[in-house]
Amino acid sequence: MEKKIAVIKGDGIGPEIVNEAQKVLDKVGEKFGHSFIYTEVLMGGIAIDKTGVPLPQETIDVCLSSDSVLLGAVGGPKWDTLPGNLRPEAGLLGIRGALKLFANIRPAKLIPALAGACPLKEEITKNGLDLVIVRELIGGAYFGKRSTTVDEKGVKTACDSMEYSDFEIERICRVAFEMAKKRRGKVHSVDKANVLDSSRLWREVAHKVKEDYPDIEYYDILVDNTAMQLVRNPAQFDVLVTENLFGDILSDEASMITGSLGMIPSASLGEGSLGLYEPIHGSAPDIAEQNKANPIAAILSVAMMLRYSFDMGSEADAIEKAVDEVLNDGYRTGDIMSEGCILVSCSEMGDLIAGRI
């Protein structure tokens, strides 16, 4: 099969980790008989330096005409003083909107070889931890009406409104139920229906969608309880689906209980098969251009791309298995290093994983 991939390397460690992800992808292509054709485009700080804007139109056009998009990370201190709409991060929001990516998928899985990095007690993690958060990405408070006003007495008031329409809730719930079908068959829909109108509509729509999936075990859960349960008994969760703001907070919490930032991939999906795949970490300017970064989150992002955009499940399994094997053999980048393990560079880690495909 031939697939066109738009590649946005970005800033800081972005180019280093994306190079390793492409190395692994090329090895998958070789072994499984696929050809991956890359088109490199600019976004973030490097785009500002070269074109004056964080997200050039050409980047959007190339991404839209590709089968998928691989992104490293953007941002860095050099661009921190620019106005909000011209900062590298504006590129991130812009590309999600331009590609109409409404679902963010973030797995949180405890890798046995790295169990020591998990901040939870062993009695909690002994039942495992393997869940996915499906977060609505282009609605809710981050995209609702907002205002900051000052009244005649000088009192300053700011307001953000959390708005959801039924169709937005329905499409994200369907993503979660479909995902649960391919996993352990359980969905928790997270809301704050005891307080918020938008959550009451969320719950109503989620219940309607659930009727189309009689084989899926379904639960409503309040967001505050979810935050507690994630650290008390994370093994109870398979797929969690929630709105934008709750999902932002819960997905960071879920990521942190697995250990290192350098290990966690993500996918952002829309209606079709085009998706944007990226590690959850940033551009790590403190270790950029030193060949020290952990490329595993980027490599696992590519595995998600194969699974969700290209329907190449066996190829994705091969990458995940290779990562597990290399970690089981004791190889570590600096961020996940522990006693008795073998320290390797970013490119050595890429070579080791590609070598196991």
Residues counted in the chain: 357
The yes-or-no answer on residue 248 being catalytic is: yes
Would you call 28 helix, strand, or coil by DSSP?
helix
The residue from 9, 23, 192, 292 that is catalytic is 192
Instruction: Return all residues near 328 (Cβ < 8 A) that are at least 6 apart.
Output: 112, 113
Residue 76 is a binding residue for ligand NAD (CB under 6 A): yes
Shortest distance, position 12 Cβ to ligand NAD, whole Å: 6
The residue from 61, 212, 224, 329 that is catalytic is 224
Task: Please state the φ and ψ torsions of residue 221, each to the nearest 5 degrees.
Answer: -145, 140
Site for ligand NAD in 159-188 (CB under 6 A): none
Q: Report the candidate in 301, 303, 297 with the shortest Cα–Cα distance to residue 346.
A: 297
One character per residue 4-23, x = contact with ligand NAD (rule: CB under 6 A): ---------x---x------
Residue 287 is a binding residue for ligand NAD (CB under 6 A): yes
Which tokens sit at 141?
Answer: 């408070």
Instruction: Return all residues near 291 (Cβ < 8 A) that are at least 6 apart.
Output: 16, 345, 346, 347
Residue 107 is a binding residue for ligand NAD (CB under 6 A): no
Site for ligand NAD in 228-267 (CB under 6 A): 261-262
Shortest distance, position 285 Cβ to ligand NAD, whole Å: 6
CA distance 119 to 125: 10
Q: Are 9 and 39 in contact (CB under 8 A)?
A: no
The yes-or-no answer on residue 238 being catalytic is: no
The yes-or-no answer on residue 224 being catalytic is: yes
Q: Which is nearer to ligand NAD, 46 or 187 (CB)?
A: 46
Q: Which is nearer to ligand NAD, 73 or 216 (CB)?
A: 73
Q: Are 354 and 24 in contact (CB under 8 A)?
A: yes
The residue from 142, 160, 324, 351 that is catalytic is 142
Residue 284 is a binding residue for ligand NAD (CB under 6 A): yes
Q: Report the candidate in 295, 275, 282, 289 with the shortest Cα–Cα distance to residue 354.
A: 295
Per-residue three-class SS string for 224-248: HHHHHHHHHCHHHCCEEEECHHHHH
Among 282, 326, 350, 357, binds ligand NAD (CB under 6 A): 282
One character per residue 83-102, x = contact with ligand NAD (rule: CB under 6 A): ------x--x----------
DSSP alpha helix (H) spans, 120-243: 122-125, 166-182, 197-210, 223-232
Residue 283 is a binding residue for ligand NAD (CB under 6 A): yes
Among 293, 316, 352, 353, binds ligand NAD (CB under 6 A): 293
Q: Which residues bind ligand NAD (CB under 6 A)?
A: 13, 17, 73-76, 89, 92, 261-262, 278, 281-287, 293-294, 297, 335
The set of catalytic residues is 142, 192, 224, 248, 252
